[in-house]
A = this chain, B = another copy of it.
Amino acid sequence: MTLHEIAPRTGIAFGLDAGQILRVIDPRGVQVSDLLAFAAEDVREVISAGRTFDYEETIRLTTGNVIWSNRSNPMLEIIEDTVGCHDFLLTPCSEATFRHFYPTEAVHRGCFGNLAEALAPYGVEPDAIPVAFNIFMNVPVDGKTGRIEVLPPVSKAGDFVRLQAKRDLIIGLTACSAGASNGGSFKPIHFCIES
């Protein structure tokens, strides 16, 4: 079982076969990893926050929850989660979000640009990148007003999530590029595939 490192502010794509388990690790703590999953046989089928919220009846996914596709098929199941605080509301950070939220900083292509480049060889167009499952991202919601905030993750060094593929998938995965998501410092993400 090989441990892979995603360098700070980069992303990667790879295949994950049905039954395999993807372990995503926060090696230093307080870092976010945006995850996408597409059906390997047809990348027009992709994880859907809206379908998942509907079937799981929650916006807070953790151990036991399934991530569903836009065609209402199970894509991934969370089988272990040492944190229990992730986001499935927000789209990946991008050049446009950098200009909006960090107007005085250098523009970065963000997780969106990193995912678009990594997924292009699999036939995924940038417009087809949906809301990502943002592992370790801390986005509290005020149930009464609907207001959201982006706070530093509560993950500590070594925390991880294990997700089992329910079918053959193409995975996109990042080490997040947005300061507000990770408490202001850019760190790597580790992952491994358990067969």
**Residues of A that sit less than 8 Å from B by CB:** 44-46, 48-51, 53-55, 57-60, 70-72, 89-91, 94, 96-97, 100, 125, 127-131, 140-149
Do A127 and B71 touch across chains, with their CB atoms under 8 A apart?
yes
Number of copies: 2
Please measure, in the bound complex, the distance between the C-alpha atom of A140 and the C-alpha atom of B57, giving whole angstroms: 11
* In the A-B complex, the 10 residue pairs with the closest CB atoms: A60-B146, A50-B91, A143-B143, A72-B96, A50-B131, A44-B127, A58-B146, A59-B146, A141-B143, A51-B91
Partner of A148, one of B59, B71, B147: B59
Do A148 and B48 touch across chains, with their CB atoms under 8 A apart?
no
Please measure, in the bound complex, the distance between the C-alpha atom of A59 and the C-alpha atom of B88, giving whole angstroms: 12
Q: Could you say which residues of chain B place their CB within 8 Å of the CB of A145?
A: 58, 60
